Structure 1
Amino acid sequence: MSKTIVVSEETIINKIYLIRGHKVMLDRDLAAMYGVETRVLNQAIKRNEKRFPADFMFQMTSEELSNWKSQNVISNKEKMGLRKPPNVFTEQGVAMLSSVLNSETAIEVNIQIIRTFTRIRQMLSEHTEIRLEVEKIKKKLDNQDKNMEVVFQYLDELLEKKDQPKPERKSIGYKINPR
């Protein structure tokens, strides 16, 4: 009887970072979810380098690691093991890991991670549609604002004309001479 491994979606989402414009996961986070040491995961990757092209996995630069640490406010305890920049995996790289780490745990956790990546992609596409609708509304409101400005300019001009002294006008019509 196999024991089902459950990693919460929230846990997975909290371990997905944006680096070089890609949504990626760190080797140490994946190793922890798979229940193996980071070095074991990295050894398996070295034995199967051909399975991990640059669009599946890359190593963070020292500068990226420094930026990542500062953005994520990592405690000293969590910095342990990050003496060198970690390997990071794109969604495709995570999928490839299940074939390299041939264990039931790796397969189950991998399925959960891939489902989470898929949900994130769906949410982003849904949000894109909403964002486009909001942009349309903003454009309409901007046009209305411009039209209102024009109306108020005309009203201001009319008020200025009203406040200006009126020139004396010559009377027209019959003049009645008082006797």
Structure 2
Amino acid sequence: MTLKRGRGQHRKYLPYAFTEQGVAMLSSVLKSERAITVNIEIMRAFVQMRELLASNKELAQQLKDLETLITRKLATHDQAITGILKAIRELMQPPVPKGRPIGFVELEEKK
């Protein structure tokens, strides 16, 4: 329902629109060629709207599924990248010598 303004009052009235069932019922009453042609076009419009709504729901579901999949993959990739960076940092640090050095070592003179 919509509001119609008139003389300071708001009166409600029904919009001029047909439902799909209303159009089907109208086709049983109207018999002219033009009425039949228009009725067929209106029914096709309803079918297209229904298909569009259905495809949008499917597309929304596919998008949600894709988002979930990417989120899961990114979580596992983040863990893998963290492990790689940790290994690189460990490789960048010089190794700590174990035991005494091999070879000749100069001794400092005592004074």
Counterpart contact for 2:23–2:39, Cα < 8 Å? yes
**Alpha-carbon distance change, 166 to 176 in structure 1, aligned in 2, over 3 angstroms:** closer
The CA deviation at 1:161 is: 1.9
Aligned-residue RMSD, C-alpha? 3.7
2-structure distance, mates of 1:133, 1:90 = 33
Q: Which amino acid aligns with 2:44?
A: R
For CA contacts below 8 A with separation 6 or more, give which structure has more relative contact order: 1
Residues 59, 87 of structure 1: 8 Å contact kept? yes
Q: Is the 8 A contact 1:91 1:114 kept in 2?
A: no
SS at match of 1:87: coil
Q: What is the alpha-carbon distance in structure 1 between the residues aligned to residue 16 and residue 46 of structure 2?
A: 15
TM-score normalised by L of structure 1: 0.38
* Residue equivalent to 2:98: 169
The aligned counterpart of 1:87 is 15
Matched, 1:155 2:84: yes
Once residues 61 and 154 of structure 1 are traced to their aligned partners in structure 2, the CA distance between those partners, rounded to angstroms, is: 68
Could you tell me how far apart the structure 2 residues matched to 1:170 and 1:157 are? 26
Residues of 2 paired with 1:167 and 1:60: CA distance?
84
Residue identity (%): 15
Compared CA separation, residues 123 and 166, structure 1 to 2 (3 A): same
Q: Distance in 1 between matches of 2:49 and 2:63?
A: 21
| Contact persistence 1:95–1:114 (CA under 8 A) | yes
Amino acid at match of 1:158: A
Distance (Å, rounded) in 1 between the aligned partners of 2:80 and 2:53: 40
> Within the alignment, does 1:132 sit opposite 2:71 as a pair?
no
- Scaled by the length of structure 2, what TM-score is found? 0.55
Cα distance in 2 between the residues matched to 1:109 and 1:155: 67
Q: What amino acid maps onto 1:170 in structure 2?
A: G
State the Cα distance separating 1:127 from its structure 2 match: 4.1
* SS, match of residue 89 in structure 1: coil
* Residue aligning to 2:107: none
Alignment partner, residue 8 of structure 2: none
- Structure 1 residues 97 and 60: alpha-carbon distance in aligned structure 2, compared to 1, 3 A threshold: farther
SS in 1 for 2:45: helix
Structure 1: which 5+ residue stretches go unaligned?
A: 1-57, 63-85
**Aligned residue runs from structure 1 range 1-179, under 5 A:** 58-59=1-2, 87-89=15-17, 91-92=19-20, 95=23, 98=26, 104=32, 105-171=34-100
